[in-house]
């Protein structure tokens, strides 16, 4: 997947499960994204965004320490110019209003995650 | 025969001999005219009180009434000693002459329970003893017997100086104090009688009326002395004989009629026991409430653990599997080699997910245990333990399911702790059924230092065992390994 300017979209994957990060990286790269980094918890995610300035953060909700909602809120507060997409192995309904209140662009359940669903949400 | 009864019989023999001695003393006295009357008065009072007192003592060994009545009886022998021609015996007799009245007041005020109630009673008794001992002795130091209306009495061996004025003044104080104390006693005892319930009144009635009459006569005697007509003295004397002879039997009757003393003792013992039982019950209820709350909380914690395990384990693997399969499908036509790799990985993830689900299911409920029993299930636990486990004893037969479950989880949790914290070389497991209980013991040679209160695991096991009325303990001195023991009733 290429963005409008013909440069691949840079992505940071934030998840505490290595198997998911590996699978997501392979899938996103196969879809034309450029995975620039991975983080296993919220604090590491905030550091990585500051350092790498990715276009997109694929952010798991349930993280050790501060959770995905909190990471999104802090990135928003810090004025980070990055699009946040929340993801989880849980269902959208499990989070109630928290998804709507979050500054994240949207939510994709892990079972539905693909280059196409991501492009649809961020396009 | 009990030692108490032997002692009481000895006292009875002593009272008998003292009475015979007293009679001999009185009948040979050179300074008493009404000898026969005196013998009658003193022996009836002394033997009457001593005999009934010893009987009461035997019947109610835990009540002071018996000993006090006996004491009144023996105190009467002091009166007999005043008939002696010997200076020393006479002097002892005079000093102890009025003691019997003091003990009698003591007896009246603590009847029938045997204990003085209230500060007034205690003061009255203390002052009465003071009056009849200290003041009595003090007066004697200044008294010349022959000048004190006792013609033919021996000399006073402890005479300091024959001061009639001092002697009379002390006598006046003694008498005045005695009248006041007797009056208070009568009021207190009569008031107590009026306020009593039927049962207590039953006990008090004979004593109050006979005792009241006795003290009335005593008051008359105190008031009329000295030097009235011989006829009046004689009447008072005879009345005193009659009343004092009756008095001990009135006490005995009252004591035996009363169930008060005994009832009060029983009631106070019962109430103390009741209080203790109540306290124990409250503690037990509190313990049960806490343990119930912990069991409920343990249930929730278990659900959270299962959810967490599913989420972090199998679910993540299935997610990765989904992505791999999707990718493999996309590459199916264009890159067969990559597709093969992705499918291999997918199978690997699937295998791992299956293993994790199996492990999780076993943690929720060990199928091996319910299907094949404790021996097989413990064998499985030992096999999977990262620390070598020696199964020293396991029951061959099936036990009731709740007991098998409890024993299994005690061993499982203990072995998990051994693997996580003990740094042990080896652990031994012993589960035996004997004498109506199932004994479970897990012992390791690790670093020790485990505590029931330290985490939720051991506390949860304790609750699990307690729910089956069993006992659970952990001994784990630092450096000396850990022994976890449970003992569960199993008839």
Tens-digit pLDDT profile for residues A66-96: 999 999 999 999 988 899 999 998 888 888 7
pLDDT of residue A71: 95
Asked if A117 has any chain B CB less than 8 Å from its own CB, the reply is no
Between CA B42 and CA B53 the distance in angstroms is 16
Residues in B closer than 8 angstroms to A109, CB to CB, are none
How far off is chain A from B406, nearest CA to CA, in Å?
33
Q: Which helix (H) or strand (E) holds B428?
A: strand B427-434
Residues of B in contact with A89 (CB under 8 A): 311, 315-316, 319
Q: What angle do CA B237, B240, B246 make, to 5 degrees?
A: 145
Q: Does the beta-carbon distance from B323 to A19 stay under 8 Å?
A: no
* CA dist., res. B485 & res. B491, Å (int): 19
Q: Is B486 exposed, middle or buried (0-12, 13-18, 19+ CB in 10 A)?
A: buried
Across the interface, which of B316, B317, B327 has its CB nearest the CB of A27?
Answer: B327
The Cβ of residue B335 has, within 10 Å, a number of other Cβ atoms equal to 13
Q: Which helix (H) or strand (E) covers residue A118, if one does?
A: helix A115-122
Chain A environment of B327 (Cβ under 8 Å): 26-27, 30
Q: Is the pLDDT of residue B425 over 80?
A: yes
pLDDT at A3: 43
Shortest CA gap A79–chain B (Å): 32
Residues in chain B: 491
Contact B323 A26 (CB under 8 A): yes
CATH topology of domain B367-489: Heat Shock Protein 90 (3.30.565)
pLDDT tens digits, B72-125: 999 989 888 888 888 888 889 888 888 988 998 898 888 878 888 888 999 999
Domains B3-257 and B367-489 share a fold: no
| The pLDDT value given to residue B313 | 80
Domain ranges of chain B: 3-257, 296-364, 367-489
| Whether residue B429 has pLDDT greater than 50 | yes
Q: B19-33, B178-192, B476-490 — which is least confidently predicted?
A: B19-33
Out of A32-46, B119-133, B342-356, pick the least confident.
B342-356
Interchain pair B320, A26: CB under 8 A: no
φ, ψ (nearest 5 deg) of residue B107? -60, -45
Q: What integer is the mean pLDDT of A32-51?
A: 95
Averaged pLDDT of chain B: 85
Average pLDDT over residues B353-370: 83
In angstroms, the CA B173 to CA B171 distance is: 5
What does R_g of chain B's alpha carbons equal in angstroms? 45
Determine the residue among B310, B312, B319 to mutate to test chain A binding: the one whose Cβ has the most chain A Cβ atoms within 10 Å.
B319
Tell whether A116 lies on the interface with B, counting CB pairs under 8 A.
Answer: no
* Predicted complex ipTM exceeds 0.90: no
How far apart, in whole angstroms, are the C-alpha atoms of residue B453 and residue B464?
A: 15
Mean pLDDT of B3-19: 90
Determine what percent of chain B is predicted with pLDDT higher than 70.
Answer: 94
| Confidence (pLDDT) at B1 | 65
Cβ–Cβ of A20/B311 closer than 8 Å? no
Q: Sign of torsion, CA B330 B333 B334 B337?
A: positive
Q: Radius of gyration over alpha carbons of chain A, in Å?
A: 13
* Contact assignment for B327 to A113 by CB distance below 8 Å: no
3-state secondary structure of A49: helix
Q: How far apart are the first and last CA of chain B?
A: 46
A6: left (phi over 0), alpha (psi -120 to 50) or beta: left
Backbone angles phi, psi at B225, to 5 degrees: -80, 150
Q: Determine contact: A25 vs chain B, CB below 8 A.
A: no
Contact at 8 Å (CB) between B410 and B463? no
pLDDT reading at B202 higher than 60: yes
B435 secondary structure, DSSP code: T
| Averaged pLDDT of chain A | 89
Fold classification of B3-257 (topology level): Rhopdopsin 7-helix transmembrane proteins (1.20.1070)
B322/A111 Cβ within 8 A: yes
How many C-alpha atoms does B48 have within 13 Å on its Cβ side?
A: 22
The C-alpha atoms of residue B469 and residue B488 are separated, in whole angstroms, by: 7
Question: Over B443-475, what HEC string results?
Answer: EECCCCCCCHHHCHHHHHHHHHHHCCCCEEEEE
User: Per the CB < 8 Å rule, is A89 touching B320?
Assistant: no
Q: For residue A5, what pLDDT is reported?
A: 43
Quote the CA–CA distance of B66 and B59 in Å, as a whole number: 8
pLDDT greater than 80 at residue B7: yes
Q: Which chain A residue lies closest to B353 (C-alpha atoms)?
A: A19
Query: By a Cβ cutoff of 8 Å, what residues of chain B touch chain A?
Result: 311-312, 315-317, 319-320, 322-324, 326-327, 330-331, 349
3-state secondary structure of A35: strand
The answer to whether residues A26 and B325 touch, using CB atoms and an 8 Å cutoff, is no
DSSP state letter for A8:
B
pLDDT at res. B14? 93
Question: Mean pLDDT lowest for which of A21-35, B36-50, B231-245?
Answer: B231-245
Residue-level pLDDT at B261:
53
A114 to chain B, any CB pair closer than 8 A? The answer is: yes
Q: Does A18 touch chain B (CB under 8 A)?
A: no
The residue of chain B with its CA nearest to that of A30 is B327
Q: What is the predicted pLDDT for the residue at B456?
A: 67
- A 64-103 near B (Cβ less than 8 A): 89-90
pLDDT at A73: 94
Distance CA B110, CA B303 (A): 69
How far is B438 from chain A, CA to nearest CA, in Å? 42
The predicted structure's pLDDT at residue A4: 45
Predicted local distance difference test score (pLDDT) of residue B314? 84
Dmax (CA) of chain A:
37
Specify whether the CB–CB gap between B342 and B321 falls below 8 A: no
The closest of B70, B93, B90 to B14, measured between CA atoms, is B70
List of E strands, A1-123: 10-14, 34-39, 56-60, 83-88, 106-109
**Among partner residues A17, A26, A111, which is closest to B327 by beta-carbon distance?**
A26
Say which of B319, B324, B331 has its CB closest to residue A89: B319
Mean pLDDT of B348-354: 86
User: Which of the residues B323, B349, B351 would you substitute to probe the A interface, choosing the one with the greatest number of A C-beta atoms within 10 Å?
Assistant: B323
For the residues A14-42, what does the mean pLDDT come to?
92
């Amino acid at each position: 997947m290429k963005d409008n300017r013909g440069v691949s979209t840079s992505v940071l994957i934030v998840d505490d499960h290595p198997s998911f990060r590996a699978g997501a990286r392979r899938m996103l790269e196969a879809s034309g994204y450029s995975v620039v980094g991975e983080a296993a918890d919220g604090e590491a995610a905030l550091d990585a965004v500051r350092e790498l300035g990715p276009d997109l953060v694929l952010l798991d909700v349930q993280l050790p320490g501060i959770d995905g909602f909190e990471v999104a809120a802090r990135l928003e507060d810090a004025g980070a110019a990055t699009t946040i997409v929340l993801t989880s192995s849980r269902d959208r309904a499990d989070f109630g209003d928290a998804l709507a209140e979050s500054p994240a662009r949207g939510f994709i359940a892990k079972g539905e995650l693909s280059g196409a669903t991501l492009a649809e949400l961020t396009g | 025969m009990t030692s108490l009864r032997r002692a009481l019989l000895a006292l009875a023999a002593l009272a008998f001999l003292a009475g015979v001695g007293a009679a001999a003393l009185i009948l040979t006295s050179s300074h008493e005219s009404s000898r026969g009357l005196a013998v009658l008065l003193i022996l009836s009072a002394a033997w009457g009180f001593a005999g009934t007192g010893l009987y009461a003592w035997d019947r109610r060994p835990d009540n002071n009434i018996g000993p006090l009545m006996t004491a009144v009886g023996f105190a009467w022998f002091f009166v007999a000693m005043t008939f002696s021609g010997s200076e020393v015996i006479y002097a002892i007799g005079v000093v102890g002459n009025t003691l019997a009245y003091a003990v009698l007041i003591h007896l009246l005020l603590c009847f029938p329970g045997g204990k003085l109630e209230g500060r007034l009673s205690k003061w009255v008794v203390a002052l009465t003893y003071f009056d009849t001992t200290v003041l009595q002795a003090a007066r004697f130091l200044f008294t010349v017997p022959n000048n004190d209306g006792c013609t033919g009495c021996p000399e006073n061996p402890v005479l300091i100086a024959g001061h009639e004025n001092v002697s009379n003044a002390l006598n006046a104080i003694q008498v005045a104090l005695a009248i006041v104390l007797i009056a208070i006693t009568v009021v207190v005892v009569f008031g107590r009688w009026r306020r009593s319930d039927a049962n207590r009144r039953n006990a008090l009635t004979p004593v109050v009326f006979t005792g009241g009459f006795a003290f009335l006569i005593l008051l008359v005697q105190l008031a009329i002395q000295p030097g009235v007509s011989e006829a009046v003295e004689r009447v008072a004397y005879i009345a005193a004989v009659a009343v004092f002879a009756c008095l001990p039997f009135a006490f005995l009757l009252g004591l035996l009629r009363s169930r008060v003393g005994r009832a009060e003792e029983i009631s106070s013992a019962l109430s103390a026991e009741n209080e203790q039982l109540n306290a124990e019950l409250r503690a037990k209820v509190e313990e049960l409430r806490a343990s119930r709350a912990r069991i409920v909380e343990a249930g929730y914690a278990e659900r959270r653990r299962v959810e967490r395990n599913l989420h972090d384990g199998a679910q993540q693997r299935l997610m990765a599997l989904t992505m791999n399969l999707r990718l493999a499908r996309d590459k199916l036509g264009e890159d067969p080699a990559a597709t093969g790799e992705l499918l291999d990985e997918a199978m690997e993830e699937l295998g791992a997910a299956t293993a994790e689900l199996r492990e999780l299911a076993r943690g929720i409920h060990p199928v091996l245990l319910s299907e094949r029993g404790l021996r097989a299930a413990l064998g499985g636990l030992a096999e999977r333990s990262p620390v070598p486990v020696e199964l020293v004893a396991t029951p061959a037969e099936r036990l009731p399911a709740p007991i098998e479950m409890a024993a299994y989880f005690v061993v499982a949790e203990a072995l998990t702790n051994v693997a996580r914290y003990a740094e042990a070389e080896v652990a031994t497991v012993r589960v035996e059924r004997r004498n109506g209980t199932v004994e479970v013991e897990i012992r390791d040679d690790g670093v020790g230092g485990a505590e029931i209160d330290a985490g939720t695991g051991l506390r949860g096991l304790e609750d699990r065992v307690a729910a089956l009325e069993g006992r659970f303990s952990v001994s784990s001195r630092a450096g000396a390994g850990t022994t976890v023991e449970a003992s569960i009733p199993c008839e």
